[in-house]
Each structure stands twice: as structure tokens, then as C-alpha cells.
Amino acid sequence: MPTQEERLTILEYDLKQYKTETIKAYGEMAIEMIMVKGLIEDAVKRLASLRTQVEQGFERVDTRLDAMDAHLESMDTRLDQMDTRFNQMETRLDRVDARLDQMETRLDRMGTGLDRVNTHVGSMDTHLDRVENMLAQILARLPEKD
């Protein structure tokens, strides 16, 4: 069995070894923590930059959407005006159609009246032809004057 002195030497050596390994592990861990801290700081800077870019992009999109909204509103106004004008034109065309229908009715009546006049003229022509024939017969019977 080892003596007390040997045991103490082994224990001191082991403790020194433990301290060395612990200090080395703490050092490595400190280096890794510094690296992680640097990476995190870099990531935070990148995220901040990305956030700024995204916000600027959204601001541009908002500006364009506002412009598009204004344009669409003006288009709506113009379309409403066109609807009003089309309605007015439709009303006027309906009135023109009604007047044309009235004129067509009048022309139909006039056509019927003309048919009656033509029939009457035809019968008068026949009557005048008969009168003319009778006059011709009367003239043919009259003695000639010397």
C-alpha cells in the first residue's frame, strides 16, 4: 500500500492535473463564448439591417398601394360619371324610340289614308272615263256645223 506521502503526491498531482484541465476547459469555453458572442452580435446587426430594409420595402409598398388606391378611386369616379352619362343617353334613346314609334304610327295612318285616296282617285278616274265616253258619244251625234 502506498504511503501517506505517496498518496498525497498522487493527490496533489491529480489536483494539479484537474486544475490544468479545468483552466484549459474554461479558456476554451471562454474563447467559444467570445466567438458565440461575436456571431450573435453579427447576427443582431444583420437582423437590424434586414429589419430596416424590410421596413423601407413596406414603406415603398404602402406608398405604391396608396397611389394605386387614389388611382382606383379616380377610376371609380370616372366610371360613375360614365354610368350617369350612359343612363342619360339611354333615357334619350328611349325618348327617340318613342317618337319614332309615334311617327311610324302616323305614317301607317297616312299610308291607309293614301290607300283610300288612291282608291277614290281610281274610282274618279273610272267615272271621268265614263263621262268622257259619254261626251264623245254626244259629240259624235251632234250635226256638224258648216
Q: Is the pLDDT of residue 37 over 70?
A: yes
**What is the reported pTM?**
0.46
pLDDT, one tens digit per residue, over 102-130 is: 998 888 887 787 778 778 888 888 988 89
Alpha helices in the chain (DSSP H): 4-141
Asked whether the beta carbons of 41 and 33 are under 8 A apart, the reply is: no
pLDDT, one tens digit per residue, over 54-101 is: 999 999 999 999 999 999 999 999 999 999 999 999 999 999 999 999
Q: Is the pLDDT of residue 146 over 70?
A: no
- Chain-centre distance for alpha carbon 87: 21
Secondary structure E strands in 11-90: none
Amino acid at site 138: I
